[in-house]
Structure 1
Amino acid sequence: MRLDDFEADELLSEGDDKNSTPDQHAKIEKLTGEAAKKNHISGMYKDWFLDYASYVILERAVPHLDDGLKPVQRRILHAMKRLDDGRYNKVANIIGYTMQYHPHGDASIGDALVQLGQKDLLIDTQGNWGNILTGDGAAAPRYIEARLSKFALDVVFNPKTTEWMLSYDGRNQEPVTLPVKFPLLLAQGVEGIAVGLASKILPHNFNELIDASISYLKGKDFELYPDFPTGGLADCSKYNDGLRGGSVRVRAKIQKVDRKTLAITEIPYGKTTTSLIDSILKANDKGKIKIKKIDDNTAENVEILIHLHPDVNPDMTIDALYAFTDCEMSISTNACVIYEDKPRFMGIKDILRASVNRTKDLLTMELNIRLRELEEDWHFSSLEKIFFEERIYRELEKDTETWEMVLEAIERGFDPYRKLFRREITREDVVKLTEKPVRKISKFDIKKADEHIKAVEAEIEQVKHHLAHIVDYTINYYQNIKKKYGKGRERKTELRSFDTIEATKVVVANEKLYVNRAEGFVGTSLKKDEYVCECSDIDDIIVILKNGKYYIRKVQDKDFFGKDIMYVGVYTRNDKRTIYNVVYRDGLNGNIMMKRCAITGTTRDKEYDITKGTPGSQILWLSVNPNGETEVLKVYLKPRPRLRNLIIELDFGQLAVKGRNSQGNIFTRYAIHKIVLKEKITSTVEGVKVWYDPEVMRLNLEGQGELIDEFMPGEKILIVNPDGSYFLANTDYSLRFDEQPLIIEKYDQNKVYSVVYYDGSQKYYYLKRFSFESTEKILPFIPEGDGSKLVSINADIYPCLKITFGGKHANREPEEIDVDAFIAVKGQRAKGKRITTLTVKKVEFIEPLEKEKSAFANNKENESDNDPEENENDNTSEQMSLGL
């Protein structure tokens, strides 16, 4: 376009304004001549974008509220219904047939059809349709086949209740929306991006949707949360009913096979095993996690094995996988649908209510249609019965001049019976009667006609009853759908509350920290200088200088802090257990001060001072104690006149722990020659209080859940699992559990436990008493395999066991056993003693006994356990003594 063309276009745009001047129009004519008489392009710009945006929103990307389908999905299902003959059709053929209705080509149809098929709800597939777990694509359309599922045929189609419109080229008819009688939109989920608008509705569980629909019809409240076909774990605490701003955190299901192997058995929604493994390898390359290798054994089910190095903690690795890889994802929600030809944002509950209301309306419509059909059937059957029974058909045999007169004669023949009918007898009814074959007169069975009329009348009453009780009818409809199709559609995604994982606590120490104390440099690249410790590239470090200044900064390759560095270490934010013991001189010639403090509540890259801040101050002694340990120092003073005692002791245990800004106490006013450590004393701070949060099945130190106990350094936590295994854990990291433990408490090596278990190989119940051995390995304390199972565990001093008999011994009175007298305390590897040979219905511990410890019981506790298998003869004799 020439320059004057641009100017003309600008003037044309201005000419659209009603206030444009005649001079502007004159200039337009001069510049463009005939061009000014053409359509103004600027006017088209005003409408085209809005038209395009509206088209994409309404006709491509956003589902309709009525049937939960995008246009391409609706057209695919309509085409498949037109093709349906009960057999499979080639997908290529379905795509071609759908193109009669869909204007956007075969690629979009094929992709949408494959996605529908992978949801395993509306389409019955045959062939390689890809794998949502691995991300493998489907085979070419010419190789795979599909047909409508029985569920789709039952709930999606009904031409009598469908509203129709012309297809894009006017050659065919297609449904405006399909009469879907099920919350299909919520069951399948949807994701679509339009122009300036997006929709993301997560899939929900089939059976839970039906239960919620029934609850709504009964006037009860309900809750709905997503359920993903890939399984995994989901935290829906911020779901926000699926509206904008809501989100769902999803996690892979990771299990500990052993201390060297982790297994991912379910993956987050929207991820594949390939993309998940890539994210794990990427995190490993960056040093965020430390793994040995990965094996992908995924076939029908997900199985990704992560092999760890022997020195790697599996629980910490699981946390790191959630923190640094796609094993944990956050999915944002944005429930947008088309309602009354406009996009509308609706919550999941409102969408379900709208679906249920529409289902009720469609069922009402179907019942009304059926009622009209039955009434027409009753009307014509009654008409036909009277026509033959009262021999009105003989008017056909008479010699009448015209056909019109015959019809009038037949109409007059029905005059005595018109009051019996529910509507007027029309000429069309009479004509229809005369069209019956003559041979039907001889074969007409009055009795059979009466039975048919009675059956129609009974069905009419039934339909009217359904219409009068449409809510109950709709509930029954949903119940039948659940009964017919709900099996095998149980929830796959486990709903859990997730804990917040702090990346700095779980990241692998992938760097080494070095210091050059004289020059004042600290970093990970100073490999020729003094080694400090291992750290990660996201850690903070604390550096304390001899003059009392200290800094908290993020670890760098090389960072300058100041000369004369006294201490460098990894800094843990809000750590109240790490105590700094300090002796410093206040100024050049000031008092010698002593203090104990914790350094918390700091800001990164800010300068702090552990002294009063007096110029010339200097730290004389500094120790950093992770568990609040103290020490006794021997302090040598410089000799001076009349100073007799030149050696004094400083016991930090006598000082209270204060804040980092405290000035400390005066230790001495005399100059110090040197300080020597006399004695290191164990921790003086309180033990670590450990809680167990059953919601997230994690240990924590933040006071969430149930308090287990207070633990001093070296004390262990006993965890007893429902499968009859146990292990001991430390409190220095957050332990995670795959299932709720039976017992989680402070470990006491002298505490005696009584255990009842069922031996699957012997088919008997056994009782044993023992104390748990100290181990960090997961060890069983009952026989493994063969159907053996833990029944109950008890820690009473004098437990009492109640046996309820069943089977052929059901009439026998329940029996109580004094456990302390029945069996001695032995090792955890002992098999124990068989409780009874009779058929047992139930074994349970009841209220413990109250008694003094007898000498006999003391002797039994001291018995040796040479043979782990109890002598069967001994068992029998003791059982007999108990009346067994």
Structure 2
Amino acid sequence: MSDETPKYDPLQQKEVIDDMFENWFLEYASYVILERAVPAIEDGLKPVQRRILHALKEMDDGRFNKVANVIGSSMQYHPHGDASIGDAIVTMGQKNLLLDTQGNWGDVRTGDGAAAPRYIEVRLSKFANDVLFNEDTTEWQMSYDGRKREPVNLPAKFPLLLAQGVEGIAVGLSTKVMPHNFIELCEASISYLKKEPFQLYPDFLTGGMVDVTNYNDGARGGKIKVRAKIAEIDKKTLEIQEIPFSTTTSSLIESIIKANDAGKIKIKKVEDNTAKDVSIIIHLAPNTSPDITIDALYAFTECESSISPNACVIVDNKPHFITVSDILKQCTEQTKHLLQRELEIKRHELKEKLLYSSLEKIFIENRIYRQIEECTTFEDVVATVDRGLEPYKKDFYREIVEEDLLRLLEIKIKRISKYDSFKADELMKRLQDELAEVEDNLANIVRFTISFYRDLLKKYSKGRERKTEIRQFEAVQATVVAANNQKLYVDREGGFIGYGLKKDEYVMDCSDIDDIIAFKRDGKYVITKIQEKVFVGKDIIYCSVFRKNDERKIYNAIYIDAKSGTSYAKRFFVTGITRDKEYDVTMGNPKSKILYFTANDNGEAETVAVNLTANSTAKKKQFDWDFSTLTIKNRSSMGNVVTKFPIRKIAFKSAGKSTLGGVDIWFDAVIGKLNRDEHGQYLGNFGSEDKILVIYKDGHYEFTNFELTNRYEPKEILIVSKYDAESPVSCLHYEGENKIFYIKRFKIETTTMDKKFLFISDTKNSRLLAASLDKYPRFEIKTKSDKKSPIETQTILVDEFVDIRGWKAIGQKINAYDIVEVKMLEPKVEEVITSTDDKTSDNDDSQNDDNQEDNDKQLALF
């Protein structure tokens, strides 16, 4: 033997180690994906959840079990310790679908944890027993230690994955499936089976609101926005009544306090009054707009968050990225397949029962059992019974085997003596009817599956209505709603601006996320982010907070072009430019400079006095220049010539009015916000004195301004309109105390802004049925004169039915026991028909100006 040892080869060893790490990593990644983090599409469960449910089924006796005991039983199948099992049980229990719970299981809204496993109890819900378990249709495998058997997948007859939602992080991929509404899932499955279109959107136990515009059917790349429901209690108080998914009341309050400390919002204090329902009370600081604060809460706190779904599931033992609709379709197909298998098993059982009942009937009624008395061996006995059944074998659905004969021979004499042929026939008739029903269901498996889902709806839909409201959210501009938590200062000569120059000139309040625009004497201007101190250029003539896309802020300027010596005037707006890039008001020639400059928030055009130098050759050395004669153009326009002569001084002479006219306002009823982007209902052109009239469904009205930051809750609003003092309000309402319906017309007499006034009765059960701002509205109402009378339809011309009275008047009574339905018809049209005979006489080509008024002039109402 040789004593030589093999030489050490580092390259070879490195290759071996690399191969080992590669294999181990792939094995580990595969294990994490398949066995821990990602759910299977068949039952929508991760392995730990499946094993918990299987353990509960094994323990199930109808009574509650201590969670500690369930954890112990689950550890027979799940090799990852009690902590992970306990957490998984609590998470499943809080979803209130598969488990019935008892004790303190925590609260997903507040983030409170559950009590210790030894104090809380659990059992399978009736729903879980109905849709998850069937011994005959379950595929089994051995547990990790080979001592027990466990299901590969539970035979789930419901899209559990979509009902519960799931989130998991594996190696190299993750999954996030949103929970969906139980009722909507059943209805979607029915629609799919009927080959009808369906749409699924998330629904969360915490309620709140969700914008599913970019949901993308739950696939990778989609996005949803979730929001808290915030109600305005009064002008000084807000209440958060529902919180968004993935947050808790404590984390939400922390984010609000943090935003307040950072100066993003202004509040006095926050109170958490959450008990049965979420109630977070926010007290606003003085002179703080509740509408702007609500938007700021959405912009700077957890009251709004964005979630990116990523539906990744295990299909055929591999991870797949699919859509929510695909998951539902596959789950529905699986439900149909499982129901078919159950029916086939049941059909086989019924056939076997019928076969045995027939054999028993033949065996007893034909006294075949008597023929075995003379047999000497057991083989002869079996053969004798077989010969006795021979004439009837052709009627059976399968061949009669020895096992069937042995079963007949086990019948006791006592049972034979008490055999009732009539009862046996009745039993066989029931079995045949049941078999016929099973055969019919198998032949119409789609119909049977639809019936199964409808039965689930009937049994389990109560209390599972949608909790999260589907809404479209407007994009909140942070710079618009941010509280002014800083002050802008300017060092004009030095060329610095910022909130840290407290010894220099104060300009205005601003927020720490604002952009600032600064104009200099040489005509250059720049937009930059607010900072503690930033250099923008010397000789600053104007600086202010910059609002992007603000076309109503107009800059008026007169500048001298150094190259030609000519002075130009221009009016321009700046809606959006590249930040920190320098632009020029002038034509860009060196040593050009601005002689006069103003910034006007609403496009005002003033008049200035222009004084030329004394030695100029102009005949007129002083004249007025009216900016209203200039057309507003973009920032790069040259402008109009003011004079070619040197200017000594330009002085303000008189203020002018806005040349922009009113503001066109639209109301988007979907999101409940005003806009200038032509979205929704056009309200009109608004001047500074105009206001908006809001009529609420609860019988209140309110005046508001037309600021774009105003919020109007769509569910509460009946009418949003530009206020016209000459237009009366017509309404149909029910007086709760007298139980009488009334129609009233009134003109609004109050002038207070942002205060609600009730214009119907304040008694219990009083309600507003319809309202109109038309001059001559028409209501079509369906009424009943008493309980037993048929429904009658009548059209009411409101202006003829009741006169205009005070806003507190109750109105004119409608003689009806009940109003079933109210429909607004097109208003009556007023037409003025004027017939005029103009009698003229021509005398020396002169016309007589005396026109005779026509006596037949008529006012016709249709």
TM-score normalised by L of structure 2: 0.92
- Rounded to whole Å, the distance in 2 between the matches of 1:496 and 1:676 is 54
Q: Aligned to 1:573, what secondary structure does the other structure show?
A: coil
2:316 equivalent among 331, 340, 346: 340
Mean CA deviation greater in 715-724 or 139-148: 715-724
- Rounded to whole Å, the distance in 2 between the matches of 1:420 and 1:253 is 70
Q: Aligned to 1:835, what secondary structure does the other structure show?
A: strand
CA displacement 1:183-239 (0-9 Å, x = unmatched): 111111111111112111111111111111111111112111111111111111211
CA displacement 1:494-553 (0-9 Å, x = unmatched): 111221111111111111111122222211011122110011111111111122111111
Alpha-carbon shift at residue 831 of structure 1 (Å): 2.3
Q: Give the aligned partner of residue 409 of structure 1.
A: 384
**1:751 is aligned to 2:756:** no
- Rounded to whole Å, the distance in 2 between the matches of 1:41 and 1:494 is 56
> What amino acid is the match of 2:77?
Y
Alpha-carbon shift at residue 253 of structure 1 (Å): 1.2
CA displacement 1:229-250 (0-9 Å, x = unmatched): 1111111121122111111111
Q: Give the aligned partner of residue 559 of structure 1.
A: 534
Q: Give the aligned partner of residue 282 of structure 1.
A: 258
Q: Rate the CA distance shift 1:827–1:681 in 2: closer, same or farther, 3 A.
A: farther
Give the conservation status (yes or no) of the 8 Å contact 2:48–2:88: yes
Q: Give the aligned partner of residue 777 of structure 1.
A: 755
Give the conservation status (yes or no) of the 8 Å contact 1:764–1:834: no
Alpha-carbon shift at residue 644 of structure 1 (Å): 5.4
Give the conservation status (yes or no) of the 8 Å contact 1:635–1:672: yes
Q: Give the aligned partner of residue 267 of structure 2.
A: 291
**1:827 is aligned to 2:806:** yes
Q: Give the aligned partner of residue 671 of structure 1.
A: 646
Q: Give the aligned partner of residue 631 of structure 1.
A: 606
Q: Aligned to 2:349, what secondary structure does the other structure show?
A: helix
2:351 equivalent among 372, 375, 379: 375
**1:213 is aligned to 2:192:** no
Q: Aligned to 2:651, what secondary structure does the other structure show?
A: strand
**1:532 is aligned to 2:507:** yes
- Rounded to whole Å, the distance in 2 between the matches of 1:696 and 1:158 is 48
Q: Give the aligned partner of residue 84 of structure 1.
A: 60
CA displacement 1:816-838 (0-9 Å, x = unmatched): 6664455443332x223341455
CA displacement 1:67-113 (0-9 Å, x = unmatched): 11111111111110111111101000111011111111111111111
Give the conservation status (yes or no) of the 8 Å contact 2:492–2:538: yes
Give the conservation status (yes or no) of the 8 Å contact 1:807–1:841: no
**1:742 is aligned to 2:721:** no
- Rounded to whole Å, the distance in 2 between the matches of 1:232 and 1:803 is 36
- Rounded to whole Å, the distance in 1 between the matches of 2:830 and 2:551 is 46
Give the conservation status (yes or no) of the 8 Å contact 1:700–1:734: no
Q: Aligned to 2:69, what secondary structure does the other structure show?
A: helix
Q: Aligned to 1:681, what secondary structure does the other structure show?
A: coil
- Rounded to whole Å, the distance in 2 between the matches of 1:800 and 1:221 is 38
Q: Aligned to 2:688, what secondary structure does the other structure show?
A: coil
Give the conservation status (yes or no) of the 8 Å contact 2:735–2:763: no
- Rounded to whole Å, the distance in 2 between the matches of 1:502 and 1:636 is 45
Q: Aligned to 1:488, what secondary structure does the other structure show?
A: coil
Q: Aligned to 1:683, what secondary structure does the other structure show?
A: coil
> What amino acid is the match of 1:827?
G
Q: Aligned to 1:483, what secondary structure does the other structure show?
A: helix
- Rounded to whole Å, the distance in 2 between the matches of 1:406 and 1:582 is 122
Q: Rate the CA distance shift 1:815–1:47 in 2: closer, same or farther, 3 A.
A: closer
List alignment gaps of at least 5 residues for structure 2.
833-862
Q: Give the aligned partner of residue 149 of structure 1.
A: 125
Q: How does 1:382-397 map to 2 (within 5 A)?
A: 382-397=358-373
Q: Rate the CA distance shift 1:347–1:589 in 2: closer, same or farther, 3 A.
A: closer
Q: Give the aligned partner of residue 657 of structure 2.
A: 682
Q: Rate the CA distance shift 1:460–1:265 in 2: closer, same or farther, 3 A.
A: same
1:806 equivalent among 784, 792, 795: 784
- Rounded to whole Å, the distance in 2 between the matches of 1:138 and 1:254 is 28
Alpha-carbon shift at residue 419 of structure 1 (Å): 2.4
Q: How does 1:655-666 map to 2 (within 5 A)?
A: 655-666=630-641
**1:465 is aligned to 2:444:** no
Alpha-carbon shift at residue 850 of structure 1 (Å): 6.4
**1:228 is aligned to 2:193:** no
- Rounded to whole Å, the distance in 2 between the matches of 1:418 and 1:549 is 108
Give the conservation status (yes or no) of the 8 Å contact 1:767–1:835: yes
> What amino acid is the match of 2:756?
I
Q: How does 1:481-560 map to 2 (within 5 A)?
A: 481-560=456-535
- Rounded to whole Å, the distance in 1 between the matches of 2:402 and 2:25 is 57
Q: Aligned to 2:122, what secondary structure does the other structure show?
A: strand
Give the conservation status (yes or no) of the 8 Å contact 2:673–2:708: no
List alignment gaps of at least 5 residues for structure 1.
17-39, 854-884
Runs (4+) of structure 1 moved beyond 6 Å?
Answer: 811-816, 850-853
Q: Give the aligned partner of residue 728 of structure 1.
A: 703
Q: Aligned to 1:124, what secondary structure does the other structure show?
A: strand
**1:604 is aligned to 2:583:** no
- Rounded to whole Å, the distance in 2 between the matches of 1:250 and 1:321 is 13
**1:172 is aligned to 2:148:** yes
Q: Rate the CA distance shift 1:127–1:403 in 2: closer, same or farther, 3 A.
A: same
TM-score normalised by L of structure 1: 0.89
Q: Aligned to 1:742, what secondary structure does the other structure show?
A: strand
Alignment RMSD (CA, Å) = 2.2
CA displacement 1:691-748 (0-9 Å, x = unmatched): 1222322211222223221212232122222222222222333322222532222212
Give the number of aligned pairs: 822
- Rounded to whole Å, the distance in 2 between the matches of 1:626 and 1:565 is 19
Aligned-residue identity in percent: 52
Q: Give the aligned partner of residue 69 of structure 1.
A: 45
Q: Aligned to 1:219, what secondary structure does the other structure show?
A: coil
1:241 equivalent among 208, 217, 232: 217
- Rounded to whole Å, the distance in 1 between the matches of 2:159 and 2:795 is 55
Q: Rate the CA distance shift 1:733–1:850 in 2: closer, same or farther, 3 A.
A: closer
- Rounded to whole Å, the distance in 2 between the matches of 1:405 and 1:557 is 111
1:304 equivalent among 274, 277, 280: 280
CA displacement 1:569-626 (0-9 Å, x = unmatched): 1111222111111122222882222111112332111111112223222222111101
Q: Give the aligned partner of residue 771 of structure 2.
A: 793
Q: Aligned to 2:281, what secondary structure does the other structure show?
A: strand
2:819 equivalent among 836, 841, 863: 841
**1:352 is aligned to 2:328:** yes
Q: How does 1:641-652 map to 2 (within 5 A)?
A: 645-652=620-627
- Rounded to whole Å, the distance in 2 between the matches of 1:812 and 1:327 is 48
> What amino acid is the match of 1:388?
I
- Rounded to whole Å, the distance in 2 between the matches of 1:804 and 1:471 is 41
> What amino acid is the match of 1:259?
K
Q: Give the aligned partner of residue 19 of structure 1.
A: none
Mean CA deviation greater in 813-822 or 445-454: 813-822
Alpha-carbon shift at residue 300 of structure 1 (Å): 2.0
CA displacement 1:344-387 (0-9 Å, x = unmatched): 22211111111111111111111111111111111111111111
Give the conservation status (yes or no) of the 8 Å contact 2:174–2:310: yes
Q: Rate the CA distance shift 1:852–1:109 in 2: closer, same or farther, 3 A.
A: closer
CA displacement 1:152-181 (0-9 Å, x = unmatched): 111110001111111100001111111111
Q: Rate the CA distance shift 1:845–1:732 in 2: closer, same or farther, 3 A.
A: closer
Alpha-carbon shift at residue 646 of structure 1 (Å): 3.5
**1:617 is aligned to 2:592:** yes
> What amino acid is the match of 1:361?
H
Give the conservation status (yes or no) of the 8 Å contact 1:260–1:314: yes
Q: Rate the CA distance shift 1:852–1:225 in 2: closer, same or farther, 3 A.
A: closer
> What amino acid is the match of 1:137?
G
Give the conservation status (yes or no) of the 8 Å contact 1:288–1:507: yes
Alpha-carbon shift at residue 53 of structure 1 (Å): 1.0
